[in-house]
Amino acid sequence: MPQCIVNRRAQFAASHRYWLPELSEEENFRRFGKGSIFPGHGHNYELFVSMQGEIDPHNGMVLNLSEVKHIIHREVVQHLNFSYLNNVWPEFQASLPTTENIARVIWQRLAPHLPLVNIQLYEHPQLWADYKGNSMEAYLTVKSHFAAAHRLALQTLSLEENTAIYGKCARPNGHGHNYYVEITVKGQIHPRTGMIIDLEKLEEVIKTYVIEPLDHTFLNFDIPYFAEVVPTAENIAVYIQNVLTEPIRELGAELYRVKLTESPNNSCEVFGPSDCPLHELLQQPTSSYAL
């Protein structure tokens, strides 16, 4: 029988605090910001447990999801729900309960009982982590958005020819989108802080290199790179991949994925870091783009 991945969702509400007792109050605040403030803060966590196996030819299931639900509740939810995470499990005293570290520890708790392939944990809809059982390696995703206009057209073609390729998107005055972008980074969980990257610095990098430059722009005119490159969703995703690779690497992690959603019907993803130097992109000459 073919292999199949099944997913089970669970929820819990919990609080936590980013605080290392070996550091002073000032040092904790400098490192963790508002997350260090006593007595902590809380989240409604959303957990997705992914499991893989063969489909049973008799009952048509990979696993009995009622039993899976019971195992997740017994091993995870009943411990974490309405808890102060720093104290609930000894793992969170050794390493802080960040989103990525919580996902890792949940994997450890469930792995003896379920054929896991991924643990995905949402702290809120704009921040989540994935853990796939690979030692201290984890993935962290930040979701953000910007609004921009563009026109899809090749300068070497006529309006009729561009319309044949791009349809309404080739109309001379352009059109706009509310873009949603997901940035996923990969790294090693620090054994003491529980982090693969400084989240505040990551969010600042995304704001500095993506959101602020692209938001409320006409991409063809305002971003030099798109004077020569057609700003399709695919090319915008590649541009974001290019400009973020080096800044994320400087923070000690690696860019893993850029997902760009142009509309509810259209999205694209690119994976891995870019080989294109950042300074080359930011110094592209502006050309005269004729509408």
pLDDT of residue 284: 46
pLDDT of residue 289: 39
pLDDT of residue 275: 87
Q: Is 112 exposed, middle or buried (0-12, 13-18, 19+ CB in 10 A)?
A: exposed
- Count the alpha carbons within 13 Å of 208 in the hemisphere toward its beta carbon: 11
**Which two structure tokens, joined as six digits, stand for 252?**
């000690």
Q: What distance lies between CA 260 and its chain's CA centroid?
A: 11
First and final C-alpha spacing in the chain:
56
Angle of CA points 217, 222, 225, to nearest 5°:
120
Residues facing residue 83 across a β-bridge: 14
User: Which domains, ranges and CATH numbers included, belong to the chain?
Assistant: 1-133 (3.30.479.10), 136-291 (3.30.479.10)
Encode 60-82: b = buried (16+ Cβ within 10 Å), e = exposed.
Answer: eebbeeeebeebbeebbbebbee
SS (H, E, C) the chain: CCEEEEEEEEEEEEEECCCCCCCCHHHHHHHHHHHHCCCCEEEEEEEEEEEEEECCCCCCCCCCHHHHHHHHHHHHHHHHCCEEHHHHCCHHHHCCCCHHHHHHHHHHHHCCCCCEEEEEEEEECCEEEEECCCCCEEEEEEEEEEEEEECCCCCCCCHHHHHHHHHHHHCCCCEEEEEEEEEEEEEECCCCCCCCCCHHHHHHHHHHHHHHHHCCEEHHHHCHHHHCCCCCHHHHHHHHHHHHHHHHHHCCCEEEEEEEEEECCEEEEEECCCCCCHHHHHCCCCCCCCC
- For 67, phi and psi rounded to 5 degrees? -70, -40
Helices 199-206 & 233-250 angle (0-180, nearest 10): 140
How does pLDDT run along the chain (291 residues), one tens digit per residue? 679 999 999 999 999 999 999 999 999 999 999 999 999 999 999 999 999 999 999 999 999 999 999 999 999 999 999 999 999 999 999 999 999 999 999 999 999 999 999 999 999 999 999 999 999 999 999 999 999 999 999 999 999 999 999 999 999 999 999 999 999 999 999 999 999 999 999 999 999 999 999 999 999 999 999 999 999 999 999 999 999 999 999 999 999 999 999 999 999 999 999 987 555 555 443 333 333
CA gap 203, 211 in Å, rounded: 10
pLDDT of residue 277: 59
pLDDT of residue 233: 97
Catalytic residues: 169, 216, 262
